[in-house]
Structure 1
Amino acid sequence: MLHFELVTPEKLVRSEDVFMVTVPGTEGDFGVLEGHAPIMSTVRDGALVIYRTQGGAPETLTVQGGFAEVNERGLTVLAEHAA
């Protein structure tokens, strides 16, 4: 499982283990699974798509701006706003 955190300036919005997250990067959407290579990207306004399980129905959150970082601990999205 991939550890995923979504953080805004106001609060920690999510901290959970999921199957996959699709991030709206400024150079295009990218999917992150467990074991993804380390990467940092800016985030554009768009849909963050969270798959809790393989083949499960996705959950979509709207994010505005920010950064995404993938490292050995998982994926952290620092968004200016999330809804």
Structure 2
Amino acid sequence: MADLHFELVTPEKLLRSEEVYMVVVPGTEGDFGVLAGHAPFMSVVRPGELSIYSNLTTVVSRIRVEGGFAEVNEKGLTVLAEQATEA
């Protein structure tokens, strides 16, 4: 499957801009996974852990996020987080 373009942005800076396999985001209605080709989607992000996968089973990074928004569009996934720290 094609890679997903992922960006993580805080008010201070762009923390990540990379091609990944999948990202699992802590949404207010539950965690959701985003793969390449996902339908357009927006969600409020709740405090929790964002997981970045390099393939179906390998988590390469976990990032603690504190609120914000996630948007999936034809370009990929963008998470605008109020705060984010590597877990």
Q: Is TM more than 0.5 here? A: yes
Superposition RMSD on alpha carbons, in Å? 0.9
Residue 25 (structure 2) aligned to one of 23, 26, 29 = 23
Deviation of 1:59 (Å): 1.6
Percent identity reads 69
Cα deviation, 1:30-81, whole Å, max 9, x if unaligned, reads: 0000000000000000000000233323421000000000000000000000
Tell me how many residue pairs correspond in the alignment: 83
In the alignment, the residues of structure 2 paired with residue 55 and residue 24 of structure 1 have an alpha-carbon distance, to the nearest angstrom, of 18
**TM-score, structure 2 length as denominator?**
0.92
TM-score, scaled to structure 1? 0.96
> Counterparts of 1:20 and 1:4 in 2: how far apart (Å)?
9
Question: Equivalences for 1:67-78 in 2 at 5 Å?
Answer: 67-78=69-80
